Structure 1
Amino acid sequence: MLFEIIHVILIWSVPTLFAITVHEAAHGLVAKWFNDPTAWQYGRITLNPVPHIDIIGTILFPLLSLMTGGLMFGWAKPVPIIPRNLKPRKYAMIFVALAGPFSNIIMAILWAFLMIQHPVFGSNIAWFELAQAGVIVNLSLATINLLPFPPLDGGKVLIELLPYSKRWLLDLLDQYGLMILIVMMFTGILGVILSPIFNTLALIVKLIVGIR
């Protein structure tokens, strides 16, 4: 029993750490492309997970998500970005925000390609489980972050698209958004809302890699 628990944690922890790390590094990299080197200066454009780890968001909540059987939910330390440095300001922030979930979709595709190569590795079931976890984790993170709700990436996109006179409500939600999302996760509401998005992204990945 203990071995099985350790096995599951190891299988899921590797792609989770990698997914969150690449997600945050992607934000910083795109911000640098748009003239804000802050993340680069703070050493956050890196595939080393250590600078990105948030004990609660990167370790505790992914474990809780795994135990509850819902979509993988977690976060890392926010990448430092100074919006006024971005040029052009409005559209740059949209690209910076979308870089995270887009990177997760790319990783889901790569993990899916590895997953369909499973027969090459004979009876190595662990390889298949690792790749499968990579697909699920990345699609989960992409799905959640596409939700147009602060402080998620989709919420940041929505803020940029709204006129200034309408942004105050989303700015208010930004203060309590994470707490609301956590409640929605544990009550199952979040899963109901996000399942159609997850299933759509999963279908796209299947079509790209040729999984029937």
Structure 2
Amino acid sequence: MTDPNLPYTIAVWLIPLVIAIVFHEVAHGYVARVFGDPTADQLGRLTLNPIRHVDPIGTVVLPMILAIAHAPIFGWAKPVPVDAMRLRNPRRDMMLVALAGPATNFVLATFAALSLGAFVGLHGGIPAQGAPHTVAGFVFDSLYSFVLVNVFLGVFNLIPLPPFDGGHVVQGLLPRAAAIQYSKLARFGFPLLLFLLFVLPMISPQADIVRRVIGPIASAAADFFLGFAQLGGL
């Protein structure tokens, strides 16, 4: 039987996810430009227009499947191009470019949590959740989802493996010879992502790093940010 609340569920998760992903990617490109690489700007990727960033699978299809399955919602956009050799200090600056994405998500989570707290205060309490027939319920659910999406996206991207942002940080911290070898893992980025997300959990539920490792970390971080709205543990 079709879930009558499915369109509502998708709306309150997909819209925040697209916004979070777009800001994440633009942050990479903007910081790269600050440190000398205008590639993203030259290719028109320093825009908040989601059409320039949307990846059909990572931004739309996968999040919708996860929403239907009531699994943690996350995704990705088309990566903003960065030419490390155009950066003034490639090893250091590439780490800062990588960290700009998760950092932006955590900033957005902070503002969303503060907005959520203000909304609850003005509304006189928490409106009925999952109530598509009320504007207040939609606003609350969307802000709440926006906090969770940004926290999860920030934490997820800090996984210390290519192609994640955390992988670029590790690469910048390793000795040069080791960093060169480590960077070769990037060619297996998408297969590695599929393996971590789908294959490994099927082989062994105990090895599901999203639910058993990333999930608890993201949950604790979400409670921290929701604490700004006095909604931690909701």
TM-score by length of 2: 0.83
Q: Which runs of 5+ in 2 are unaligned?
A: 128-135, 202-207
Tell me which moved more, 33-42 or 108-117: 108-117
Aligned residue number for residue 19 of structure 1: 20
Counterpart AA for 1:191: R
Please list, as runs of the form range in 1=range in 2, the aligned pairs for 1:168-207 lying within 5 A after superposition: 168-186=180-198, 187=201, 188-207=208-227
The Cα shift of 1:94 comes to 0.7
The Cα shift of 1:5 comes to 1.1
* 1:83–1:93 contact (8 Å) kept in structure 2: yes
Following the alignment from structure 1 to structure 2, what is the Cα–Cα distance between the partners of residues 107 and 189?
25
The Cα shift of 1:2 comes to 5.6
Larger Cα-atom Rg: 2
Aligned counterpart in structure 1 of residue 122 of structure 2, from 120, 123, 126: 120
Which has the larger helix fraction? 1
- Residues 69 and 17 of structure 1: is their aligned pair in 2 closer, same or farther, counting only changes over 3 Å? same
SS of the residue aligned with 1:73?
coil
Aligned residue number for residue 39 of structure 1: 40
Counterpart AA for 1:92: D
Aligned residue number for residue 142 of structure 1: 154
SS of the residue aligned with 1:146?
coil
- Residues 74-111 of structure 1 show CA distances to partners (whole Å, capped at 9, x for unaligned) of 11111111111111222111110000011011111111
- Residues 96 and 12 of structure 1: is their aligned pair in 2 closer, same or farther, counting only changes over 3 Å? same
Aligned residue number for residue 131 of structure 2: none
* 2:108–2:150 contact (8 Å) kept in structure 1: yes
Following the alignment from structure 2 to structure 1, what is the Cα–Cα distance between the partners of residues 181 and 82?
22
Q: Runs of 4 or more off by more than 6 Å in structure 1? A: none
Q: CA RMSD in A?
A: 1.9
Task: Provide the identity percentage.
Answer: 35
Tell me which moved more, 192-201 or 73-82: 192-201
Q: Which runs of 5+ in 1 are unaligned?
A: none
SS of the residue aligned with 1:71?
coil
Counterpart AA for 1:27: H
Aligned residue number for residue 153 of structure 1: 165
- Aligned residue pairs, count: 212
* 2:115–2:143 contact (8 Å) kept in structure 1: yes
* 2:147–2:226 contact (8 Å) kept in structure 1: no
The Cα shift of 1:9 comes to 1.0
- Residues 182 and 68 of structure 1: is their aligned pair in 2 closer, same or farther, counting only changes over 3 Å? farther
Following the alignment from structure 2 to structure 1, what is the Cα–Cα distance between the partners of residues 31 and 145?
26
Counterpart AA for 2:213: I
* 2:17–2:74 contact (8 Å) kept in structure 1: no
Following the alignment from structure 2 to structure 1, what is the Cα–Cα distance between the partners of residues 151 and 69?
17
